Amino acid sequence: MILNVDNISVNYGAINALRDISFTLNEGEIVALIGANGAGKSTSLNTVSGLLRPTTGKVEYLGSDITTVTPQAIVNLGIIQVPEGRKIFAKMSVWENLEMGAYTVKDRKVIQERYEMVYQKFPRLKERRNQPGGTLSGGEQQMLAIARGLMAGPKVLLLDEPSMGLSPILVEQIFDIIQEINKTGTSILLVEQNALMALAIADRGYVLDTGRIVLQGDADDLLHNPTVINAYLGGETTD
Amino acid sequence: MKTLIRQSIRTGITYGIVQIFFILIAFNTMVGIMLAKISGIKNPGEIPAAKFLIAYTILMGLWVGISALSKKKFLPAGHKLLAGFTAGLVSAILVGLLELAMTGILVNKIFIRDFLTVLSFDFIKATLFGLTPVLGIVVTMGAIVLGSLLAVGLNIVTNLNAVQEHWKKDLSFLKNLNDKFQRMIRGKYHLIWQIVGISILAVAVIFIPMKWGSYWNYVFGTVGLYVILGLGLNIIVGLSGQLVLGYIAFFAIGAYTMALLNAPEPHNLMWGFWPALLLGVLLAALSGILLGLPIMRLRGDYLAIVTLGFGEIIRILLKSDVLTDFTGGPRGIQNIQGPMLFGKPFNSEVDFVYLIIAGVLLASFVYNRLQQSRTGRAWLAIREDETVARASGVDTIKYKLLALAIGAAFAGLAGGIYASRNQFTGPDEHALMASINVLSLIIVGGMGNIPGTILGAFTLKGLPEILREFANFRLLAFGALLVFMMLSRPEGLIPSHRPKYDEPNEVSGEMKKKEVPHDQ
Ligand SMILES: Nc1ncnc2c1ncn2[C@@H]1O[C@H](COP(=O)(O)OP(=O)(O)O)[C@@H](O)[C@H]1O
Ligand SMILES: [Mg+2]
């Protein structure tokens, strides 16, 4: 178990966004966290990455408690979040965005290797490396956001709705890339509203509803679970 | 081209009609009287002197010109000239026609006061500047055209980049010339040119202050201190994106550290200038951090309000009667000793100008290094999206505090030098208005860059002094200038171009400098 989220509750002032939720991520897995808008998916990720603090419960990474560790220290430990909504630095050029991703890396040689790795995965970004991030298309910006995450050398990648607002073809591409990243040894926690796509590539999944986990299990089982089909897959059946 | 002329003629007619209307309601004499009063004439009477009416007419021409060129920033200079001149001429002709008609009234002694109360013979004579009718009409038209040409000039000067772009596009010989020039300063002679440029600058910097009188040295010393202040605030506001308002408090801390340690009253500690300056800088930086710690979570307006409060608290503390024994109270601290260098005391404005120039160079150097460093990139990231910066592993609090500390240190430096140069400091020198001045100078100059800061300091601190010759016109001219500038260049006189580097070359690690616009 690389990540163990144990019974956490998170509040925004009086608003109770997460109530006693637990989930785990094993080494090499893709785990999908699905749920409707406002279910608490981003809140969960932000808690893991240290941007938010739970009021109760704890987050463990490789067996040690990281609940009160600062976000930058968590980045250093290898847990990298790709925030939702393609949040790139619009005024920085593509390579500077990548450079920001490797902000905690001190070794220039390592950074250089990562550039090569990232440019190989995303040739488009290499072509546009001296162009301000804000001038990229939506799909390219999402790729840049993921690439920026990869620059930190993640052991665990937290992806927040990477398919949001992208055309089906682009979503397909992005999900291929996610699988590829996973194959090279990065465990992935994938937050999605697009439950079908997410469960299709995931090993396991959790279904969040208004701050609680209402279902969990193998991705295949969830794909065929009638509740999931009705609530999140628009009633359509999958094979 | 034709549409341009048509548009300009339309503008000319519109404003010509407006001007006719103005004359018919005697607006010209009203403004003339106002101008006369501003320039110090106690009792200008009902009809002001001709020169004020001429000034009014030129202003009207300026107005026509500005209107004709509004939203035409990117026209080539020739077209601008054509547009401004056409509009000016058209409205001049209209006004000329009106005056011709008025002359008719005058010559034929038609008494129409019963219908149009203002059109008395005296008024008509005044409108013709007391000249013979023909000459009066010619002067009127000339003044209007002159005004519109002035507007063209202003428009060109304030939009130099735009014009330059067109030169590059339109006139190939200028383009070639420009290319050659660029190659000369960029190419293999780059270093030589840099050295030549720097030497010329150095010679100027060393010798000009000696030639100037102490008044000019005083003025430019003040400008220099505001450049340091502006750069410091620019680190906080422009680079790290924190809107801090009570900035002058750090200046006060530098000034008071100098004063308390280096004056006979109230403590007679009599430290040297240099250690006092250093301590002032350090204390300012420290107070930057102390102010920063509790406000790190605040953003935008809240941050502005809290820091504004901080500035005022410092001033009130300095002023308070309770602390008079310690800080000199409302009367401030006098007889601050000057610096000593190589065993010889500073005794003239010239020495201080050198000191200030050294300060400006140091501040610019630090600013420049910071902006281009990892730290600069972290600040940019924070400015763009603080949460994402945090998620990328940037210790946002550390960097925001760092910006506050360095910005405050700049202010402490300026404050120490300032107090020592004036041999005096008092609480009211550090009022809110001073903070706003510094903020305005970086806004006017262009947020986030060194040349903009320097230009802003000249405009806001140097120009009012220079305009002092025009005594009472000063404030009016200055206000008009500011309004005009904000209208024509809302992003500041020199919009910010973040120095940007192409991706480091894998082999050599060398960086190529390039500029991309940002902060639009
Ligand atoms: N900054 C915030 N302040 C207050 N409430 C918030 C904030 N962010 C999220 N919430 C609330 O917390 C709940 C969960 O939000 P979120 O985690 O963003 O959901 P999701 O990512 O699943 O769409 C929602 O009810 C949302 O309104
Ligand atoms: Mg969300």
- Predicted confidence at residue B520, as pLDDT, reads 34
- Inter-chain touch A93–B500, beta carbons under 8 Å: yes
Question: What is the distance in A from the centroid of ligand 2 to the CA of A163?
Answer: 12
> B266 preceded by cis ω (within 30°)?
yes
Distance separating alpha carbons of residues B303 and B403, to the nearest angstrom:
14
Of A14, A8, A157, A26, give the one whose Cα is nearest residue A68.
A8
Of B16, B134, B119, B128, give the one whose Cα is nearest residue B64.
B16
Question: What is the distance in A from the centroid of ligand 1 to the CA of A229?
Answer: 24
- Predicted confidence at residue B516, as pLDDT, reads 45
Question: In this structure, which residue's CA is closest to atom 1 in ligand 1?
Answer: A12
Q: Which atom of ligand 1 is nearest to the CA of A46?
A: 17
- Summarised one tens digit per residue, pLDDT across range A95-137 is 999 999 999 898 999 999 999 999 999 999 999 988 999 999 9
SS3 state of residue B513? strand
Question: In this structure, which residue's CA is closest to atom 24 in ligand 1?
Answer: A38
Residue B491 scores a pLDDT above 70:
no
Q: Is A204 in the pocket of ligand 1 (CB under 6 A)?
A: no
Distance separating alpha carbons of residues B449 and B43, to the nearest angstrom:
48
Q: Is A12 in the pocket of ligand 1 (CB under 6 A)?
A: yes
- Summarised one tens digit per residue, pLDDT across range B315-362 is 888 888 888 888 888 888 888 888 877 777 776 778 888 899 999 999
Q: Please report whether residue A145 resides in a domain.
A: yes
**B377: contact with A, CB 8 A cutoff:** yes
Tally of residues, chain A: 239
Q: Which of residues 448-507 of B touch A (CB under 8 A)?
A: 498, 500, 502-503, 506
- Predicted confidence at residue A159, as pLDDT, reads 96
Pocket test for ligand 1, best of A21, A43, A189 (most atoms within 8 A of CB): A43
- Mean predicted confidence (pLDDT) in B483-506: 58
Between A227 and B276, name the one with better pLDDT. B276
Q: What is the DSSP code string of B270-292?
A: ---HHHHHHHHHHHHHHHHHHHH
Q: Please report whether residue A214 resides in a domain.
A: no
Distance separating alpha carbons of residues A166 and A146, to the nearest angstrom:
14
Q: Is A35 in the pocket of ligand 1 (CB under 6 A)?
A: yes
Of A128, A166, A165, A164, give the one whose Cα is nearest residue A147.
A128
Q: Which atom of ligand 1 is nearest to the CA of A13?
A: 4
Q: Give B390 to chain A, closest Cα distance, Å.
A: 6
Distances, alpha carbon A51 to alpha carbons A35, A36, A54, A89, in Å? 21, 22, 10, 18
Minimal-distance CA residue of chain B relative to A48: B391
- Inter-chain touch A101–B392, beta carbons under 8 Å: yes
ipTM greater than 0.90, yes or no? no
Q: Please report whether residue A98 resides in a domain.
A: yes
Minimal-distance CA residue of chain A relative to B398: A72
- Fill in the amino acid letter for B333: I
- Helix and strand numbers (H, E) in chain A are 10, 10
Q: Please report whether residue A27 resides in a domain.
A: no
Q: Please report whether residue A220 resides in a domain.
A: no
Residue B435 scores a pLDDT above 90:
no
Q: Tell me the pLDDT of chain A (239 aa) as tens digits.
A: 999 999 999 999 889 999 999 999 999 999 999 999 999 999 999 999 999 999 999 999 999 999 999 999 999 999 999 999 878 999 889 999 999 999 989 899 999 999 999 999 999 999 998 899 999 998 999 999 999 999 999 999 999 999 988 899 999 999 999 999 999 999 999 999 989 899 999 999 999 999 999 999 999 999 988 888 887 766 554 44
The torsion region of residue B124 among left (phi > 0), alpha (psi -120 to 50) and beta comes to alpha
Maximum pairwise Cα distance, chain A = 51
Query: Could you tell me the end-to-end alpha-carbon distance of chain A, in angstroms, rounded to an integer?
Result: 30
Q: Please report whether residue A165 resides in a domain.
A: no
Q: Which residues of A touch B (CB under 8 A)?
A: 49, 51, 70-72, 75-76, 80-81, 83, 87-93, 95-96, 99-101, 103-104, 108, 112, 115, 129-130, 132, 148, 152
Q: Give B506 to chain A, closest Cα distance, Å.
A: 8
Q: Which of A103, A115, A132 sits opposite B392 (nearest CB)?
A: A103
- Inter-chain touch A91–B502, beta carbons under 8 Å: no
- Predicted confidence at residue B481, as pLDDT, reads 62
Residue in B388, B447, B498 to test binding to A, most A beta-carbons within 10 Å = B388
- Summarised one tens digit per residue, pLDDT across range B156-190 is 777 766 555 555 555 565 566 666 666 666 666 66
The domain in which residue A102 lies consists of 90-153
Q: Which of B377, B393, B502 sits opposite A75 (nearest CB)?
A: B393
Q: Residue A92 is inside which H or E element, if any?
A: none
- List chain B residues with CB under 8 Å of A88: 388
SS3 state of residue A7? strand
> Which is it for the CA torsion B368, B372, B373, B376, positive or negative?
positive
Of B438, B407, B420, give the one whose Cα is nearest residue B256.
B420
Structure tokens at B40: 């110090």
Distance separating alpha carbons of residues A67 and A88, to the nearest angstrom:
26
Q: Is A17 in the pocket of ligand 1 (CB under 6 A)?
A: yes
Q: Is A43 in the pocket of ligand 1 (CB under 6 A)?
A: yes
CA A98 to chain centre: 17
Phi first, then psi: what are they for B347, rounded to 5°?
-130, 10
- List chain B residues with CB under 8 Å of A111: none
pLDDT band at B514 (very low <50, low <70, confident <90, very high): very low
Question: What is the distance in A from the centroid of ligand 2 to the CA of B265?
Answer: 63
- Predicted confidence at residue B183, as pLDDT, reads 67
- Inter-chain touch B378–A92, beta carbons under 8 Å: no
- Fill in the amino acid letter for B48: P
pLDDT band at B200 (very low <50, low <70, confident <90, very high): confident
- Mean predicted confidence (pLDDT) in B482-508: 57
Q: Please, which contacts does B286-289 make with residues 24 or more away whose CB atoms are closer than 8 Å?
A: B286/B405, B287/B249, B287/B250, B287/B253, B287/B408, B288/B250, B288/B401, B288/B404, B288/B405, B288/B406, B288/B407, B288/B408, B288/B409, B289/B401, B289/B404, B289/B405
Distance separating alpha carbons of residues B380 and A54, to the nearest angstrom:
29
Distance separating alpha carbons of residues B473 and B376, to the nearest angstrom:
43
**B508: contact with A, CB 8 A cutoff:** no
Q: Please report whether residue A125 resides in a domain.
A: yes
Q: Which atom of ligand 1 is nearest to the CA of A211?
A: 14
Give all strands (DSSP E) within B322-421, no chain letters.
333-334, 340-341, 344-345
Of A100, A111, A182, give the one whose Cα is nearest residue A149.
A100
- Mean predicted confidence (pLDDT) in B410-420: 95
Of A50, A62, A51, A5, give the one whose Cα is nearest residue A31.
A5
- Predicted confidence at residue A228, as pLDDT, reads 84
Q: Please report whether residue A139 resides in a domain.
A: yes
Q: Is A15 in the pocket of ligand 1 (CB under 6 A)?
A: yes
- Predicted confidence at residue B176, as pLDDT, reads 66
- List chain A residues with CB under 8 Å of B514: 130
Residue B248 · residue B365 · CB < 8 Å: no
Residue B268 scores a pLDDT above 70:
yes
Structure tokens at B183: 């190659």
Q: Is A83 in the pocket of ligand 1 (CB under 6 A)?
A: no
- Inter-chain touch B392–A100, beta carbons under 8 Å: yes
pLDDT band at B118 (very low <50, low <70, confident <90, very high): low
Pocket test for ligand 1, best of A8, A34, A42, A82 (most atoms within 8 A of CB): A42
Pocket test for ligand 1, best of A5, A9, A11, A12 (most atoms within 8 A of CB): A12
Range of weakest confidence among B42-56, B102-116, B121-135? B102-116
Total count of domains within chain A: 1
Give all strands (DSSP E) within A13-76, no chain letters.
15-25, 30-35, 56-61, 64-65
Question: What is the distance in A from the centroid of ligand 2 to the CA of A128?
Answer: 28
